[in-house]
Amino acid sequence: MDWQSYERSQEVIEIGDRFISYFDSGGDLPVILFIHGIPTWGYLWWDVASHFQQTHRIVIPDLIGFGHSDKSDRFDRSIRSQEEMLIQLMDHLNIRSFTVVGHDIGGGVAQRIVTFHNDRVERLCLMNSICYDSWPVEMMLQFGHPSVVNKLSATVAIESLKQGLKMGFNKTPDKDFLEGLLTPYKTEVGKRSLVRCAAALNTNHTTELTPYLPTINTPSLILWGEDDSFQPLNYGLRLANDLPNSHFEAISDAKHFVMIDQPSRIKTHLEKFLQPSNHVEIESHRHRGPEEPQHQA
């Protein structure tokens, strides 16, 4: 599906004063929630996610501040806020439990969901995810400075972002695909929103999870493009070490956007991970630690 058709297929929901655009394949099937990162939107997941439509209900939101969700200038875009919004989204959709798949900051959101809403998550998959203090990357730190809103026009800002993004692919991606990924940010409002999203990247929101990761027994799959310069392989290995019920796969010939560089292998790994034979593990994945993690004030 091209990005224009994908946008047309998106639904929308109001949550408080905000709105989220999302794709939902519907149906009474096990649910997979796919969470994108920065500076992309739900369309990033289409090729991989659509592979699972026959067997699963797939839900792909645009995080607030991104894509075609609310891009006004008046709210918190941190991954902590995103976590809360997505839980409310799933509540609105009457989805009690789900598998969560997260990439980049979407992986950070996924880690927060599995930590603070553990009873909702059946399985966790992280792909080239932020974690610990692996982020924000330099490019995003610079992009998130408030002065960028006035200093750079949308055209210039997005062009420089595009050049930076290309470093995240093993091969230069299809031109239309890359255009589609960045189109929501090509207006001054879109650019401003992305700057605010970059400004909201807060390492504390994953470092605070560090003590809890070893207590999370949720079946977890960690897939990592080996040649990622944004989120190096060692961070994926660290996650695999800390998450006790996890399986790690390094994906060769792949960089940060591993699902675009090696879609077939990603689909194969995910398919295997989602097999019903894994169901027994799901029942035993409750927290083993002395106390449930609480949101910090």
Partner 1 sequence: MSRVKPISERAAKDDIARVYHEIRQTLRIDGVNLLFRILAAQGSSLPFLWDKMKANAKSIEFERLADELRHQAVQQLRDFAPLSASSKTNLGPSQIYRLRKAIDTYRYITPKLLLWTTSIRRAMTGEFHPISKKDETDQAMILGIPPTMFPMEMVSEQPDNIDLNQAFEDIRKTLGTPRVNSYFRTFALWPEYLKTYWQSLRQLVNSAEYSSLLTEVQELSFKKVEELPYQMSLMPEEFEQHKADFQEILEHMHSFERIIAMAVLNVNLAGRDLMNEEDLSISPFPATRGGPNHGLAIL
By CB under 8 A, residue 175 contacts partner 1: no
State how far the Cα of 173 lies from the Cα of 146, in Å rounded to an integer. 30
State how far the Cα of 280 lies from the Cα of 148, in Å rounded to an integer. 50
**Residue nearer to partner 1 on the CB measure, 114 or 158:** 158
**Residue nearer to partner 1 on the CB measure, 42 or 219:** 42
**Residue nearer to partner 1 on the CB measure, 90 or 130:** 90
By CB under 8 A, residue 81 contacts partner 1: no
Query: What are the CA-CA distances from residue 255 to residues 126, 127, 230 (Å)?
Result: 14, 11, 9
Count of residues binding partner 1 (CB under 8 A)? 24
CB of 46 to partner 1, least distance (A): 15
By CB under 8 A, residue 160 contacts partner 1: no
**Residue nearer to partner 1 on the CB measure, 119 or 179:** 179
By CB under 8 A, residue 93 contacts partner 1: no
State how far the Cα of 43 lies from the Cα of 27, in Å rounded to an integer. 20
CB of 97 to partner 1, least distance (A): 25
Q: Which of 54, 150, 294, 296 binds partner 1 (CB under 8 A)?
A: 150
**Residue nearer to partner 1 on the CB measure, 180 or 190:** 190
- Near partner 1 by CB under 8 A, which window of 69-77, 86-94, 127-135, 206-214? 69-77
By CB under 8 A, residue 7 contacts partner 1: yes
**Residue nearer to partner 1 on the CB measure, 186 or 267:** 186
Q: Which of 28, 74, 290, 291 binds partner 1 (CB under 8 A)?
A: 74
Q: Which of 190, 219, 225, 236 binds partner 1 (CB under 8 A)?
A: 190
CB of 200 to partner 1, least distance (A): 17
DSSP letters spanning the chain: --HHHHHHH-EEEEETTEEEEEEE--SSS-EEEEE--TT--GGGGHHHHHTTTTTSEEEEEPPTTSTTS---SSS--SHHHHHHHHHHHHHHTT---EEEEEEEHHHHHHHHHHHHSGGGEEEEEEEEE--TT--S-HHHHHHTSTTHHHHS-HHHHHHHHHHHHHTTSSSPPPHHHHHHHHGGGSSHHHHHHHHHHHHT--THHHHTTTTTGGG--S-EEEEEETT-SSS-HHHHHHHHHHSTTEEEEEESS--S-HHHHSHHHHHHHHHHHT-GGGHHHHHT-S--SSS------
- Near partner 1 by CB under 8 A, which window of 25-33, 71-79, 115-123, 228-236? 71-79
Q: Which of 92, 119, 133, 155 binds partner 1 (CB under 8 A)?
A: 155
**Residue nearer to partner 1 on the CB measure, 72 or 278:** 72
Interface positions with partner 1 (CB under 8 A): 7-12, 17, 19, 21, 68, 71-74, 149-150, 153-155, 186-190
